[in-house]
Structure 1
Amino acid sequence: MRILVLANTPAHVHLYRHAVDRLAAAGHDVLVLTREYACTTDLLDFFDMPYRVYGSHGTDEFSKVQFARELGGQFCTIGTEAVRFDPDVIFGRGPYAAYAGTLTRTPVVLVLDDEPGDFNHTVSKPFADCILSPAVTRRNLGDDHYTFDGFKECAYLHPEVFEPRGDVREYLDVDPDEPYVLVRFNALDALHDAGLEGFRPEQRRDLIERLSEAATVFVSDEGGELNLRELPARPYDLHPALIHDAMAEASLLVADTGTMATEAALLGTPAFRYRGTDDHEYGEFRELERAGLAEQFDDYEPVRDRSLEVLGDEDASDRWQQRRREYVGDLVNLTDLLVDVARSRGTIDRLDGSTKRVLQPRSQSL
C-alpha cells in the first residue's frame, strides 16, 4: 500500500510518527507532505520520516502575507506530489488533505480535535471518507464521523507508546532531585488563534520571577519575543523532539497554549493553562480537568498563585502520577487505530471486530 500523510505542524508529526514507522516496517510505502513551519521539518529529520516540503509558513506578519501570496503555488505542489505518489489512502486535516484526495480520487481520513472555528471542518468534511476524533469532541460531522475514547496525543503519549529517556536532566543540566518548571508562551499565529491574547509581557515577567523563587524555570517562547537575559530563567533549547521527555520530568507546566498543556497532563505532570482572551470551550480540557490532570484559568493571578501552591506541595507529583495511571492507561492507543485504519484504506467496514469496538459513530453518541 501507499499511504500519504499531510503533516503541517510539529503536533501533526508526533501524531503520525509511530504509525508511519510501523507501516513502513510492515513494507508499506509512506510519504509525508509538509511545510517549513516552526520545528516541523526538524522533527521529521530527527525521527527519520520520509517527507517532501511543499511550502513554508512563518510566524511574523510578513511571512503571513507571503504565505497568502504563495498559497496557490503550495496547492499546486501538493497536487503534483500527490499525483506522482499515487496513494491508496490519505491522512490529514483541512483543505490540503481534501484537495489531495479529490485530485487523486483517493480515500481521505481526517484526524481532528476540538479546535475552535469551523473553516477546516467546513472545507474538508465533504471530501472525507472517514473522520476520527476524540469522544469529547462536541461536533457532529456526519455519518462518516467516528469517535474514540482518548485524545489525539494518545498516538504518542499513551503508556503503551511513550518511553521516556533517562538522560533528559543531563541535557537540561539539572540535578536528579532539582525541581524545574516549563513555561510555554504561544505565538498565537495559527488560523484559529486570530485575535487571541495570552500572557501579556508584564505578566510573563512576573510569572517567571515568582516561579524562579521555588524552582528552576525553563521558558519556551514560540514567538521569540522575550529577552531572558534580564530574567531568572533559562531558555528551553533542547532539540524539539525531547520536549515530552522534559515534560515528563518537570514539576509543573504553565502555558497559554493548548497542545502542550494537554501533553503534560497526559504525562502526569501538573498542567495549568491560562486562557487569556480565548473563550472557546475545549472538550479535551474539560475531560482532563474532570480527571484532575489539568486546570484552566481565566485570570492571571489565580494561575500564578496556583502554580506556586503546587510547587510548594511535596505530594503533588505523586498525586498526578496516580491519576495518570488510573485514567490514561484505559484510553485508546491511537497509533494502533491509525495503523488499522490505514490498512483498511479508510473504510471502517473493513476493520476487524476488535478495532471496530473502539470506534463509536458520532451520530449515535449524541
Structure 2
Amino acid sequence: MRILVFANTPAHVHLYRHTVDRLEDAGHDVRVLTREYACTTDLLEFFDMPYRVYGGHGTDRYSKLRFARELGGQVVTIGREARRFDPDVIFGRGPYAAYAGTLTRTPVVLVLDDEPGDFNYAVSRPFADCILSPAVTRRDLGDAHYTFEGFKECAYLHPDVFERDEGVREYLGVDPDEPYVLVRFNALDALHDATLEGFKPEQRRDLIERLSEHATVFVSDEGDDMDLDDLPARSYDLHPALIHDAMAEASLLVADTGTMATEAALLGTPAFRYRGTDDHEYGEFQELERAGLAEQFDEYEAVLERSLEVLTDDDAAARWQRRREAYVADLVNLSDLLVEVAESRGAVDGLSSSTRGSLQAKGREQPQL
C-alpha cells in the first residue's frame, strides 16, 4: 500500500511518527508532505521520516487573505506530489488532505481535535471517508465521524509508547534534584489565532522573574522574538525532539498555548494554561481539568499565584503522577488505531472487532461488531 500523510506542524509529526515507522516496517510505502514551519522539518529529519516539502509558513501573524494566497500557491505542488505518489489512503486535516484526496480520488482520513474556528472543518468534512477525534470533542461531524477515548497526543505519549530519556537533565545542565519550569509562549500565528492575545510582554517578564525565585526557568518562545539577556531564564535550546522528555522531568509547565499544556498534563507534569483573550472551550482541556492534570486561567495574576503555589508544594509532583497513572491507563493507544485504519484504507468496517469496539460513532450507536 501507499500511504500519504500531511504533517504541517511539529505536533503533526509527533502524531504520525510511530504510525509511519510501523507502516514502513510492515512493508508499506509512506510519503509525508510537509511545509517549512517552525521545527517541523527538523523533527522529520530527526525521526528519519520520508518527506517532501510543498511550501512554507511563517511564524508571524496571519490574515485570511494571506492564508488564501499561500494556500493557492501550495495546492499546485500538493497536487503534483499526490498524483505522482498515487496513494491508497491519505491522512491529514483541513484543505490540504481534502484537496489531495479529491484530486486523486483517494479515501481521506482526518484526525481532528477541538480547535476553534470552522474553516478546517468546513473545507475538509465533505471529502472525508473517516474522521477520528477524541471522545471529548464537542462537534458532531456526520456519519463518518468516530471518536476514541483519549487525545491525539496518545499517539506518542501513551504509556505503551512513551519512554522518557532521563538524560535530558544532563542535556539541560540541571542537577538531578534541581526543580525547573518550562514556560511556553505561543506565536499565535495560525489562522484561528489571528485575533488572539496570550501573555503580554510585561507579563512575560514578570512571570519569568517570579518563577525564577523558586526554580530554574527555561523559555520556549515560538515567535523567537523575546530577549532573555537581562532576565533570570535560559532559552530552551535542545533539539525539539527532546521536548517531551524535558516536560516529563519538569516541575511545572506554564503556557499560553494548548498543545504543550495537553502534552505536559498527559505526562503527569502540572500544566497551567493562560487563556488570554481565547474564550473557546476546548473539550480536551475540560477533560484534563476534570482529571486534575491541567488548569486554565483567565487572569494573569491567577496563573502566577497558582504556579508559585505548586512550586512551593513538596507533594505536588507525586500527586500529579498518581493522577496521571490512574487516568491514562485506559486511554487508547492512537498509533495502534491509526496503523489499522491505514491498512483498511480508512474503512471502519475493515477494522478488527476489538478496534471497532474502541470507536464510538459520534451521535449514534456503537458501530456493529
Q: TM-score range by the shorter chain?
A: over 0.9
Q: How many aligned positions are there?
A: 366
Equivalence for 1:210: 210
Q: 2:196 matched to 1:196? A: yes
Distance 1:134 1:58 in 2: 29
Equivalence for 1:96: 96
Q: 2:268 matched to 1:268? A: yes
Equivalence for 1:228: 228
Contact map agreement 2:82 2:100 (CA 8 A) in 1: yes
Superimposed CA distance per residue, residues 158-183 of structure 1 (whole angstroms, 9 cap, x where no aligned partner): 00000111210010000000000000
Give 3-state SS (helix, strand or coil) of 2:225's partner: coil
Equivalence for 2:349: 349
Contact map agreement 1:182 1:252 (CA 8 A) in 2: yes
Q: 2:331 matched to 1:328? A: no
Contact map agreement 1:180 1:252 (CA 8 A) in 2: yes
Equivalence for 2:172: 172
Equivalence for 2:44: 44
Distance 1:50 1:292 in 2: 38
Cα offset, 1:59, TM superposition: 1.5
Equivalence for 1:297: 297
Equivalence for 2:142: 142
Contact map agreement 1:58 1:64 (CA 8 A) in 2: no
Cα offset, 1:66, TM superposition: 6.6
Letter in 2 for 1:133: S
Matches for 1:299-318 after TM superposition, within 5 Å = 299-318=299-318
Contact map agreement 2:160 2:333 (CA 8 A) in 1: yes
Distance 1:65 1:121 in 2: 19
Cα offset, 1:349, TM superposition: 0.4
How does the TM-score come out when normalised to structure 2? 0.97
Distance 1:278 1:70 in 2: 25
How does the TM-score come out when normalised to structure 1? 0.98
Contact map agreement 1:136 1:283 (CA 8 A) in 2: yes
Equivalence for 1:87: 87
Superimposed CA distance per residue, residues 191-222 of structure 1 (whole angstroms, 9 cap, x where no aligned partner): 11110000001100000000000000000011
Distance 1:68 1:109 in 2: 23
Distance 2:172 2:224 in 1: 20
Contact map agreement 1:89 1:342 (CA 8 A) in 2: yes
Q: 2:143 matched to 1:159? A: no
Give 3-state SS (helix, strand or coil) of 2:3's partner: strand
Cα offset, 1:62, TM superposition: 8.9
Distance 2:207 2:196 in 1: 20
Distance 2:194 2:127 in 1: 26
Give 3-state SS (helix, strand or coil) of 1:253's partner: strand
Q: Which runs of 5+ in 1 are unaligned?
A: none
Contact map agreement 2:63 2:191 (CA 8 A) in 1: no
Equivalence for 1:21: 21
Cα offset, 1:228, TM superposition: 0.3
Distance 2:226 2:72 in 1: 34
Give 3-state SS (helix, strand or coil) of 1:181's partner: strand
Q: Which piece of structure 1 moves more, 279-288 or 218-227?
A: 218-227
Shift in alpha-carbon separation, 1:70–1:188, aligned structure 2, 3 A: closer
Q: Which runs of 5+ in 2 are unaligned?
A: none
Distance 2:310 2:363 in 1: 41
Give 3-state SS (helix, strand or coil) of 1:31's partner: strand
Equivalence for 1:186: 186
Cα offset, 1:63, TM superposition: 10
Cα offset, 1:225, TM superposition: 1.8
After the TM superposition, list the runs of 4 or more consecutive aligned residues in structure 1 that deviate by more than 4 angstroms: 61-68
